[in-house]
């Protein structure tokens, strides 16, 4: 298991040495006359260096596979199948199947009539050009529109269907049929993207864990046929949650703001600008400071900002301006513009915010249409947890999430149990990566630290275990105490990643602004408050359960959805969008996946 946080159950029955070395065949030869798992006199070859248990991986994104739509069986009412049969359309399996199902039923064209493209088709094409308003890419849905009938000089064909009346010769007719299928494929792709997003999140990384939504594409084209305004029907497929609506409105606001500017502010990511040097990027630095610095800072340096004219000259006055900005941004005020300063300058620009909004709108589509009247929402980049009841946010609290090397997953589940005075079952990953080096040199390490050790279910002392050559299952756990890593309680939503919410004795971490510090689980600043909310009791009652000192689990009366999410742009309870740093660089991975998707769809 890759997530490095606590387990409540014993370790699996697998030899610790097997885990370390990769299997029985890799063991160092050991000759002894002792019981397995017990320390006795032995001679042993030097062991191989210990490997590390590594976490999940990020992947080079692979877009949906496509296949050719089988058009040979298509027929236009009153005509032969040849125009459709000549059309070449490639699409994902579910889009292709929906096209084949619809046009295989002797359907008349949806998008062409009397030798021309219909007004309904034109309206849908115009919608596609506005797809970016919904966080989608218009390029994914563009297609070639045939020339108008009046522009064609081909002779009129004598054999035509009702939908193809007065069509010129075979070349134009084939172009119209190609357009017909291309537009239907784009409509289906657009409908699917509006509902579930363009990406399969699980292909971005192993930290993403979502069941991809099943969009019933077989119903889309029949619905479109029945609609007077297909474009409005397709627009109506967008998520209607308050969060998505707020993201969409903010995207429109920022796009309008950016379009009013003369030019986009860009700075090289690897820029290194030192006092006394010149660089063309100086102009971008000044422009970025004008946009993102506080009013107080720009007022204090108004003369420098208004008087800047020497392109590329990093003057002493500009150095002081940069130092002031660095101080305001919490950076070392040395006047050197490097990666951290570039990130502070353009990482919060309107363009950067637009990217965050587009990613957030994509990710919002991975979540259920309704989050639930009662739920817990954890946003890792915000380092916050929010409890909702009766559809409204009741309270929020600070959290600590996984470090960059022990990242918290992005998934959803349901809260089932609160456990008081918990044991901490130490995961094998922590035993191997963190404890084993101590145990090799000091086998009594766990005894002194108050941990309990079992070999094949039998309690043993840590010092009695041969940490080089045990052949038995070893479990390590920390009993309930004020020093227990899980504190007073943990809140369980059983999942494949062994992630849960819990208390912690390390309270000082909650005072930090950056709180990516755990082994992957969610540490709560106010665990009693969250436990009381999910159990529907008072904090005083929670305190009474803890005061008994006994390890005990209590089921919640109804399962409560919990969203362990990752949004660098998300609305607060007042609907105002807040922006956060990309703690794990997941936004960058998502942008690459989006680019790969558009490349695959347009090539």
Task: Catalogue the active-site residues.
Answer: 502, 521
- Residues 441/32, Cβ–Cβ less than 8 Å: no
- Residues 402/518, Cβ–Cβ less than 8 Å: yes
As a whole number of angstroms, the distance between CA 256 and CA 277 comes to 36
* C-alpha dihedral (425, 426, 428, 431), degrees to nearest 10: -150
3-class DSSP state for residue 394?
strand
Please work out, in degrees rounded to the nearest 5, the angle formed at the alpha carbon of residue 596 by the alpha carbons of 591 and 599.
Answer: 125
CA distances from 291 to 185, 361, 422, 481 (A): 42, 25, 50, 52
Torsions phi, psi for 186 (to 5 deg)? -65, -40
As a whole number of angstroms, the distance between CA 265 and CA 351 comes to 8
As a whole number of angstroms, the distance between CA 520 and CA 513 comes to 18
CA distances from 297 to 1, 300, 318, 326, 509 (A): 49, 5, 13, 11, 31
As a whole number of angstroms, the distance between CA 306 and CA 308 comes to 6
Q: For residue 100, count CB atoms less than 10 angstroms from its CB and return exposed for 0-12, middle for 13-18, buried for 19 or more.
A: middle
């Amino acid at each position: 298991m890759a997530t490095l946080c606590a387990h409540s159950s014993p370790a699996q029955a697998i030899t610790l040495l097997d885990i370390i070395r990769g299997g029985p065949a890799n063991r160092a030869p050991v000759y002894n006359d002792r019981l397995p798992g017990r320390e006795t006199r032995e001679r042993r070859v030097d062991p191989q260096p210990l490997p590390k248990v590594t976490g999940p991986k990020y992947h080079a994104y692979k877009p949906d596979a496509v296949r050719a739509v089988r058009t040979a069986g298509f027929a236009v009412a009153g005509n032969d199948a040849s125009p459709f049969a000549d059309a070449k359309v490639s699409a994902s399996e579910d889009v292709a199947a929906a096209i084949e199902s619809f046009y295989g039923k002797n359907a008349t064209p949806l998008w062409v009539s009397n030798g021309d493209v219909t007004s309904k088709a034109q309206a849908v094409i115009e919608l596609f050009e506005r797809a970016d308003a919904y966080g989608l890419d218009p390029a994914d849905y563009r297609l070639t529109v045939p020339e108008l009938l009046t522009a064609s000089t081909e002779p009129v064909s004598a054999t035509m269907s009702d939908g193809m009346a007065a069509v010129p010769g075979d070349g134009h007719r084939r172009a119209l049929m190609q357009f017909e299928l291309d537009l239907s494929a784009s409509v289906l792709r657009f409908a699917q993207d509006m509902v579930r997003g363009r990406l399969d999140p699980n292909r971005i990384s192993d930290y993403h864990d979502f069941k991809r939504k099943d969009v019933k594409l077989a119903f889309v084209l029949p619905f479109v046929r029945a609609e007077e305004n297909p474009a409005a029907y397709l627009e109506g497929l967008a998520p209607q949650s308050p969060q998505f609506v707020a993201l969409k409105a903010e995207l429109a606001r920022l796009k309008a703001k950016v379009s009013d500017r003369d030019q986009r502010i860009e700075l090289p990511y690897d820029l290194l600008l030192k006092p006394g040097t010149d660089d063309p990027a100086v102009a971008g630095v000044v422009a970025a400071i004008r946009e993102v610095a506080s009013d107080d800072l720009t007022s204090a340096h108004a003369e420098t900002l208004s008087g800047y004219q020497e392109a590329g000259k990093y003057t002493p006055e500009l150095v002081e301006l940069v130092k002031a900005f660095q101080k305001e941004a919490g950076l070392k005020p040395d006047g050197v513009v490097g990666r951290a300063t570039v990130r502070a300058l353009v990482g919060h620009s309107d363009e950067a915010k637009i990217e965050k909004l587009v990613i957030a709108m994509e990710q919002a589509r991975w979540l259920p249409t309704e989050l639930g009247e009662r739920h817990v929402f954890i946003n890792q980049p915000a380092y916050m947890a929010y409890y909702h009841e009766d559809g409204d946010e009741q309270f929020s609290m600070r959290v600590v999430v996984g470090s960059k090397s022990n990242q918290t997953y992005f998934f959803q589940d349901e809260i089932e149990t609160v456990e008081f005075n918990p044991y901490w079952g130490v995961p094998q990953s922590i035993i191997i990566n963190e404890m084993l080096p101590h145990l090799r040199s000091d086998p009594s390490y766990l005894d002194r630290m108050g941990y309990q050790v079992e070999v094949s279910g039998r309690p043993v002392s840590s010092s009695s275990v041969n940490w080089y050559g045990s052949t038995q299952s070893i479990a390590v756990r920390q009993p309930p105490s004020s020093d227990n890593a899980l504190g007073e309680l943990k809140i369980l939503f059983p999942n494949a990643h062994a992630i849960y919410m819990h208390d912690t004795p390390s309270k000082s971490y909650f005072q930090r602004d950056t709180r990516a510090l755990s082994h992957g689980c969610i540490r709560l600043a106010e665990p009693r408050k969250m436990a009381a909310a999910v159990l529907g009791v008072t904090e005083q009652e929670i305190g009474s359960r803890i005061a008994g000192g006994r390890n005990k689990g209590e089921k919640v009366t109804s399962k409560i959805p919990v969203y362990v999410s990752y949004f660098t742009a998300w609305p607060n309870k007042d609907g105002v969008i807040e922006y956060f740093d990309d703690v794990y660089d997941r936004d960058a991975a998502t942008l690459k996946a989006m680019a790969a998707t558009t490349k695959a769809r347009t090539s």
